Amino acid sequence: MVSQLRGDEPRLEVGDSGESVRELQFRLFRLGYYQQFPDGTFDMTTENAVRELQSSLGQDNTGEVTTETWEAIVHWEQQSGLEYQYSNPSDAIDQLRYDLDHPQPQQEELSPDGQWRWNGTEWVAAAAASTHVGQVSEDGQWRWSGTEWVAATADAHTGQVSEDGQWRWNGTDWIAANAQPAGHSAGLVSDDGQWRWTGTEWVAA
């Protein structure tokens, strides 16, 4: 393990207080060992969190913070993809307070009104997030183009391939464009004479 310690991390124990304890609590909080908002007081709750961390790596769970304990914190931060990048504990606490006040939505979370879905980076229309290109509405009247619902039969003829090349209209439904027609082989021409099956896809006849 490559250590990312600054070298000035202090020994800490029950009864200590101050900025170093706040940093300790913040880092334990992010790792899931400390459940309270960091207050800078090394109390029994903090000691229990330290003991749990120490036990997770097979260290003596004394509850006292040593260089070995700080190294354990760095180890778990690396395993969790976390990095302590704050110049002082106050900045870290401010960031934590902001994060708690402005939680990020979970992937695929729906908005309270059910109209929007979080895709991991932005809110998109709930229908758009769960609908694939070519999908036909339940009543068979509409087809999802990828950006909007259009009339399912609008300009669609048997064998027509969607704009993205992924779907083919078979006369009643949009199906995968490369789906081989049941019981047919290469050379088959669509009912409207516009498309020919090559064996792997429909091409203009």
Q: Mean pLDDT, the chain, as a whole number?
A: 77
Give the pTM.
0.51
Band of the pLDDT at 83, cuts 50, 70, 90?
confident
Range of the domain at 37: 19-101
42 in a domain, yes or no? yes
For residue 52, the model assigns a pLDDT of 93
Indicate the range of 1-15, 50-64, 167-181 predicted with least confidence. Answer: 167-181
Cβ burial 91-100 (10 Å sphere, 16+ → b, else e): ebbeebeeee
For residue 147, the model assigns a pLDDT of 62
Of 82 and 44, which is predicted with more confidence? 44
For residue 197, the model assigns a pLDDT of 73
Q: Can you give the length of the chain in residues?
A: 205
| Joined tokens for residue 57 | 């790596």
Residue ending a domain, choose from 101, 120, 147: 101
172 in a domain, yes or no? yes
Task: Kindly tell me if the per-residue pLDDT of 109 is higher than 90.
Answer: no
Q: Tally the domains of the chain.
A: 2
How many CA atoms does the CB half-sphere of 20 hold within 13 Å? 15
121 in a domain, yes or no? no
For residue 2, the model assigns a pLDDT of 40
For position 75, which CATH number holds? 1.10.101
For residue 173, the model assigns a pLDDT of 67
Q: Which residue has the tokens 């669509």?
A: 190
Asked if residue 62 lies in contact with residue 72, where contact means CB atoms within 8 angstroms, the answer is no
For residue 1, the model assigns a pLDDT of 35
Compute CA distances 53 → 24, 26, 31, 78, whole Å. 12, 14, 9, 14
Asked if residue 70 lies in contact with residue 84, where contact means CB atoms within 8 angstroms, the answer is no
Q: Which residue has the tokens 């950006």?
A: 147
132 in a domain, yes or no? no
Task: Kindly tell me if the per-residue pLDDT of 86 is higher than 70.
Answer: yes
Band of the pLDDT at 180, cuts 50, 70, 90?
low
